[in-house]
Chain A
Amino acid sequence: MHIDLPCNLRYATGLARAGLGALIFALPLMMTMEMWEFGATVDRLRLALTLTLSLPMLTALSYYAGFEPTSSLLDNVLDAFAAFLVSLVTCLIVMALFAEITAMSLDALAGKLAVLSFPASIGALLADKQFNDRPDEQPRTSITAGFAGRLFVMGVGALFLALNVAPTDEIELIAINIHPFQAAAIAVTSLAILILTLRAIDLEFDDLPGRLTTHMARGFAGYGVCLLLSAYVLWFFGRTDGKALDEMLESIIVLAFPASLGAGAARLIFGGGKDE
């Protein structure tokens, strides 16, 4: 354990960067009315499950990105918890500034902060990618990504954008208004955008980019992740409750559209990844 000042100051700088990342990523959600209500009304068991599942995801994200360089699993676990703490404090301050912390039960307050701190933690751990003040440092993901890492990075991007859009009523409205053919067209468009994005990234970062079929396979895998995560996010927000299967599928396809854009954007932020 280091108790010398420069080492702790470096970590404090990382924490400040994490706070800024949390703020930038979660501010749209903190300013969304549906999220204020959702924190109080969310099914508590779904919230507990989502928070529990977020822990290994945040630990892995700390490995691939993080707000400071890490050297061990313990380091990544500590940073995941620190990101959660920073996000919680950031959300508490901002919600208090917005007068959204009023006379409410501890349960409602905990729900509100927990719901917001989940996406904010992702932002906190992506802070290094956004505000890296060490331009000479080689990105960690380029070295260690591989197929699983690549899918994970896409999943984080998909989850992040899906979380930003899913609480709104518009997903449900779009799903109700569109014809099944339009839903199929949205699915094909999402997949095509993801494949083209992945190909563009690999063309930029790799000296020997793979064939189009390779990118198509990666795109299908990525879109599959987007669909699964969109289904989970809709379930978490209670948007699948009491829905007919076809309506539910259309909602998933609609949400997977921004999710696949998020997946592509995440790969773009993280750069290319070599197969292992």
Chain B
Amino acid sequence: MTRKKKLEDNETPLLEWICGGAGALLFFVIVGFTLFNGMTMKGPAAFRYQTTGMEAVADGTRQIAFLVENIGEKPVTDLRVRVTLMNGDQDGQQRDINVETVAAKSTVKATAVFTDPAAAEVKFETLSYREP
């Protein structure tokens, strides 16, 4: 290393080394992680639904909150979900819900509003989605 270069190195504040090093580490981790996901995540999207709450509201409706989880490896947009209230084996009221985006391995919250206060079981059905 020449004397000039040594001088230049000496002029670099410690904080610059720390921030530059941390930034470099984050940069390469994110690029590497993104590349790895780009090359390995090739499976289709798949969905799991979980009811998180059923609440009777003062206006006479019943709101059923649920989680949509994309357990697949591809993100989707415009996901359409049909939520059906079950009266025993019989299908009751149905609501079609549109979910804008669900990233891979991620969840989104949604709520369906029904006017039938009796049924206790809920069925979820994936109708369609778009690949972004």
Contacts and interface: CB of A to CB of B under 8 A. Distances in A.
Contacts of B33: 106-107, 110
Interface of B: 5, 8-17, 19-24, 26-27, 30-31, 33-35, 37-39, 41, 75, 77, 100-101, 103-107, 132
B17 A81 contact: no
A37 B99 CA distance: 12
Contact of A45 (B8, B17, B22, B38): B38
B106 A78 contact: no
A3 interface: yes
B39 A103 contact: no
* Residue from A44, A55, A77, A88 having most chain B Cβ neighbours under 10 A: A44
Interface in A45-98: 45, 47-48, 51-52, 55, 71-72, 74-75, 77-86, 88
A194 to B, nearest CB: 32
Contacts of B31: 48, 51-52
Main secondary structure of the interface of B (DSSP, over half): helix
Main secondary structure of the interface of A (DSSP, over half): helix
Given A37-B77, A79-B16, A108 B23 contact: no
B30 A238 contact: no
Nearest to A117: B30
Nearest to A43: B38
B16 A78 contact: yes
Interface of A: 1-3, 7-8, 10-12, 15, 37, 40-41, 43-45, 47-48, 51-52, 55, 71-72, 74-75, 77-86, 88, 103-108, 110-111, 113-114, 238
Contacts of B10: 1-2
B11 A71 contact: yes
Given A8-B13, A37-B77, A110 B20 contact: no
A111 B106 contact: no
A119 B52 CA distance: 38
B19 to A, nearest CB: 4
A108 B17 contact: no
B104 to A, nearest CB: 6
